[in-house]
Structure 1
C-alpha cells in the first residue's frame, strides 16, 4: 500500500511583519542577498539564481559552489525579466534594498524581506528562512552552533583592546556603530568598538557615520580593520594617519567583502574566527581561507 505524500502549506512573517505564504516548502529559491546564498549552501541546497556580491559576480568566500548559478543583477537593481525566467518559488531578499519593489517581486514569487543589519537579525533570518525551506530544525541547529561558538570565543578572548571598522575611499572614513553585525562580533571578543552606539539602535539605520581623523586619533584604537573599497583610501594620506597607534604598531588590516556582508552563517563564523586571530594571534588560529581571501596587513 502506497502512503500518500502529505504536503503542508507554510506561512511565516518576514521582517516587515508581512506573512509569506507558500503552498509547500520552497525548493527553487532566488537569493537577493549574500545571506540567502550563504544559508542555502550551509543547508546543502543551491540557489536558483543570485545577485552580485559587491564588485564580484558571486561571493568569493563561498568558492566554486555556485558554478552555473545565474546572476540576475545587483541587490538594488534586480533584472525582473531574468528573475521571472528562473521561475522561483521563493525570493529571499535584503529588505532595505528591495522593499520598494515588493509588489513587483510578489507578482513573480512569494517575497521574504529580511533586515540583515544586526546579529539578532542574522539569527532571526536563519530561523525564518529555515521554516520557509522546510528545514527549521537544521536552521535552529546552525544558530545553536554559532551561539556556542560565540560563547567559547568570548571566554577565551583576553580583552583590553579597542578597534575601529572603517570603509570608504574618501578623505573622511565611515565608521560603523556597535549594532552593525561585524561590530557586534568585536563585543563578543571583549573589544571596545570606538564607533560607539547609535542613539536608537533598534532602528537599524544608519549603520555608521563619518569620523574625522582628528576624532579617530582622540579615540586611538589598538586595531583598525579596513573594509573593501574600489578606490584608494584618501584618508590614509592624511598627515594624522601615521600617528594612530594601530598604524604605528602595524595593526591595520584590510579585510574581505564578506566582513561587510556577514549575516550568513558561513560568513559570520569566518569573520568571527579571522577577527579573533587578528586581535589575539597568540590565542586563536587563522580560519581556513584561500590566501587571496585572507585579511592582510595594510601598508
Structure 2
C-alpha cells in the first residue's frame, strides 16, 4: 500500500510540475493542451463554454459556472449537474455542437473533448481559445483539472481538488486491502453483444486501484488511449465470469441480457449486477470522479465497522 500511495504522490507531483501545465507571464496565460497546441489567454477566463461534460463539471467545481454546455442528446444535460446548470445555454450534443449558439454567448474559453472537436476545431477557435482534452484515464483527469485551473485563474483550487481525490483513492484502497480480490466487468451497449472496458478507462482504473480485478484486461494501445474497450460475446464473458457486473445506462433495452447465457453468469446468479449513472462514462471531472468513488464505496466495499 505504501507503493500505491507513493505512486499517487508521484502522479500528482508530475501533474503539478509538468511543463505543459499553465504558466503566467507578462503576456497572460499559456497552456499546452492534449493536441500539443499552445493556448494563449490574455487573462484568466471568466466565461467558459463546455463541449464536454468535463468542461461543465470542472467549471462548476472551480466556481466559474459555464455560459454554455453540450448535452447527451435526447437525455439532456447530465443529471448530476442539471440543477446547477439551470438556465445555462444549451449547445446540443457534444459530437455536433451548435457553433452559432456558441458564438452568440461570447465565451472566452471552450473546454472540449479532443476526439469530438477535431473536425470543427478551426471554427471553434475562431470563436474562442479551445482547450482540447483526452479525458480517458486517471492521469488525463488530473492533468485536465490542472490545465482548467490555470485557464480559469484558480490553479491552487485545482491542485487541492486533485490532492483530495488522490487522498481518497488511497484511503479507500487501504480500507479494502484485506479483502479478497473480486472480479468486475463494466459493460455498455443495447445490442446483443455488450461492450466491455479496458483497465485504463478511468472508472475501471479506479476499480483496479481499489483492489478489484477488471476482467476487461489491459488495452492493446495504452499510449493512444483508444479503443476504450471491445465487444465481447456472452460465451467469452461467461468464461471470465466476473463476481460483479456494472452496467452503464442505455436508451435501449439491453438485448444481451435476453441471451440464454446471461442467467448463468455468476454476477447475475448472486444478484451482483448494478446499473451505474451516466457520469461513469465521462468521469474525468472533479464532481463526477468523486461520485464514482461514492458509488464504488456504496456498492462494492464492505462497510466499515461502527
Structure 1: 5+ residue runs without aligned partners? 1-5, 286-299
Question: Secondary structure of the equivalent of 2:118?
Answer: helix
Distance in 2 between the 1:40 and 1:61 partners? Answer: 14
Q: Does 1:122 align with 2:141?
A: yes
Call closer, same or farther: CA 1:185–1:29 in 2, change over 3 Å: same
Q: Does 1:38 align with 2:57?
A: yes
Among 225, 231, 236, the residue aligned to 2:257? 236
Distance in 2 between the 1:258 and 1:55 partners? Answer: 16
Equivalent residue for 2:68? 49
Q: TM-score, normalised by structure 1?
A: 0.90
Among 89, 100, 109, the residue aligned to 2:128? 109
Structure 2: 5+ residue runs without aligned partners? 1-24
Distance in 1 between the 2:265 and 2:51 partners? Answer: 38
Call closer, same or farther: CA 1:57–1:212 in 2, change over 3 Å: same
Aligned residues, how many? 280
Q: Does 1:246 align with 2:267?
A: yes
Equivalent residue for 1:255? 276
Q: Does 1:76 align with 2:95?
A: yes
Among 286, 292, 299, the residue aligned to 1:265? 286
Equivalent residue for 2:18? none
Distance in 2 between the 1:278 and 1:207 partners? Answer: 23
Q: Does 1:145 align with 2:164?
A: yes
Q: Report how far residue 180 of structure 1 moved.
A: 0.5
Q: Is the 8 A contact 1:7 1:24 kept in 2?
A: no
Equivalent residue for 2:227? 206
Q: Report how far residue 7 of structure 1 moved.
A: 8.1
Q: Is the 8 A contact 2:73 2:92 kept in 1?
A: no
Call closer, same or farther: CA 1:217–1:54 in 2, change over 3 Å: farther
Among 212, 222, 231, the residue aligned to 1:191? 212
Q: Does 1:132 align with 2:151?
A: yes
Q: TM-score, normalised by structure 2?
A: 0.88
Q: Is the 8 A contact 2:195 2:232 kept in 1?
A: yes
